[in-house]
Structure 1
């Protein structure tokens, strides 16, 4: 009996140590980022049954995440447009990271409509086939956003689709809403399951060479009365129309898969670039009359 009195505490201690080790391994693993129905493969979230080849989700998926459509070439977001009611966009340096970057102002934004998803390779390829868009090197996945596109090329697609590039105020208002949210989903919680960022050098992945599937992070959508808008923060930074017609500089909004800091994902964040810029982390979506 005395031997049991010594052995039981020792066994309990060993179990505690083992439990701590398992928890440490779990916490040290890759952060949870893929929605149900998707599988984490390297830095990507692919459809169930797919494999990762050269950074691409390859093969026919057997299942996709909620809201995405099964196609033989991969998971893809459907065409959807969301109407956004008129309201007042309030920008100001109340966020300490905005101080010295954002000019405090209020601007009325008339009602408009916006693509629920970033423009992906599938509809862009259709525009090229119709002779209305410039050919671009594509990754071969129907559901990933188009990248490496200039502002003018993006505007040409939007005209083909019956719309135009959104203004910077429209993109900011779509993300912030009338309440002035810090992020499209709210004021806190820039985590890997909500937003595609930090995939090149952490914190959400490593060695990514391009964006994720459009709509792959539904938990980070901006909710409006008539629908949800996906990836307004992260995945690809999105071209806005220039402030003045013919300007050689315009803004991209929302941050991207390559950004490592949450500040890049803020609703107010924009990066000014020459309109001729091509980059693997810049894409776009289109705006339409209400």
Structure 2
């Protein structure tokens, strides 16, 4: 399968032949149309298929290629499929004529005035950078296209290890080039929803069969009973936050100028419960073993015995919501989280307006710089007046509030936790600041895609007051 698709104008064929000779010497696979596909072949479909199956789209920039309709069409297909774009400049050009999709990228110059061998080494370096992700991106896009072109037949959805690997790849490589496509995100999301539905059905059937075959005595060993036991182990203490105002936003003019909301107030927020501690690896592990939860994207700390009292991290919004719902709870909204963190008085911190100390917040401040997460029941100096730990620092915490209007999502909408209405490509607010973030940034929120997962992002559940 071709690794590199080369788009060029035939007026630059001598340059391209010299370039492909160098690629061949490095044993790099490429797809290039030398003679033109015969008219008997559906030409554009063949071009499209070759681009979709390529890892990298190499565009040879020249005055002829940037005015070629065919080259522009090829570029549009590559962009649509999220291919990594590598622009190679073969001759002098008018920069205003370069397609906007290429204008933001780093060019590799092969003009007569440039050193050819040095440019070639830069090209090889660009092709080798993050190759594992580029290859995984291509494979996932091909599978997603097969699903889409089969009228989204459930038989094409991912399952098991393939699904877990795709979720991990999208999360870990969310900020890399090439960026995950919207189709890839939707494909993985629908695969997760289908898997979770099938798991719930299977558990229900197994419980029914066990009950029928073993009678009343068998009830004690059914998955339902084991699930209830696990829930009792995992359920942590919840703290009542009385009805009152909620303050959010920042007073820092630099952050306001950057687009973050200025300090604002909601006059009255209904009472609610919120977790005294961040959810631990042990608690989340109970849901993985007995409930509907799936393992974190990265399990480095999750399985370690000595880390069981540390916050579970590397979980997506969907995973966080699944855990809270397993306990009959939910994720807090952004405004509930801010209410718990700032109190009814709207202080900068829940202990007041004085600067934090290392004992109050596990996050950088002044000369202090923590090196990792802490156990969820640490930082006694920074406990809130209600007794809540690590509202500031340690791990960022998911909320259910859509906060960034960069997609087709409704700004400030609150996800109701229904798996069928989950929009993983929306940006959701996260509160608290992680152990890597400066303390002065805690007053602003972090916005990230629902499908994201990081090693400083965890869970704190909330619940309604009946």
TM-score tier by shorter-chain length is 0.5 to 0.7
C-alpha distance 103-198 of structure 1, shift in aligned 2 (>3 A): closer
- For the pair shown, the structure with the greater C-alpha radius of gyration is 2
Q: Does residue 1:83 correspond to 2:240, yes or no?
A: yes
Shift of 1:99: 3.6
C-alpha distance 215-98 of structure 1, shift in aligned 2 (>3 A): farther
Matching residue of 2:187: none
Aligned-residue RMSD, C-alpha: 2.3
Q: Does residue 1:265 correspond to 2:265, yes or no?
A: no
> Which residue of 273, 278, 282 maps to 1:118?
278
> Which residue of 123, 126, 146 maps to 2:312?
146
Q: Does residue 1:214 correspond to 2:376, yes or no?
A: yes
Segments of 5+ residues of structure 1 without an aligned counterpart are: 1-76
Moved more, 238-247 or 142-151: 238-247
Structure 1 residue matching 2:247: 3-state secondary structure: strand
Matching residue of 1:62: none
- CA distance in structure 2 between the aligned counterparts of 1:285 and 1:277, rounded to whole angstroms: 17
Higher strand proportion, which one?
1
Shift of 1:167: 0.3
Shift of 1:89: 1.3
Structure 1 residue matching 2:400: 3-state secondary structure: coil
- CA distance in structure 2 between the aligned counterparts of 1:234 and 1:106, rounded to whole angstroms: 23
Contact 2:241 2:271 in 1 (8 A): yes
Higher helix proportion, which one?
2
Matching residue of 1:238: 397
Deviations 1:74-127 (A, max 9, x none): xxx992110000001134654556544223432121000000000001111111
Contact 1:254 1:264 in 2 (8 A): no
> Scaled by the length of structure 2, what TM-score is found?
0.41
Higher relative contact order (CA 8 A, sep 6+): 1
Contact 1:97 1:263 in 2 (8 A): no
- CA distance in structure 2 between the aligned counterparts of 1:96 and 1:219, rounded to whole angstroms: 29
Matching residue of 1:132: 292
- CA distance in structure 2 between the aligned counterparts of 1:213 and 1:263, rounded to whole angstroms: 22
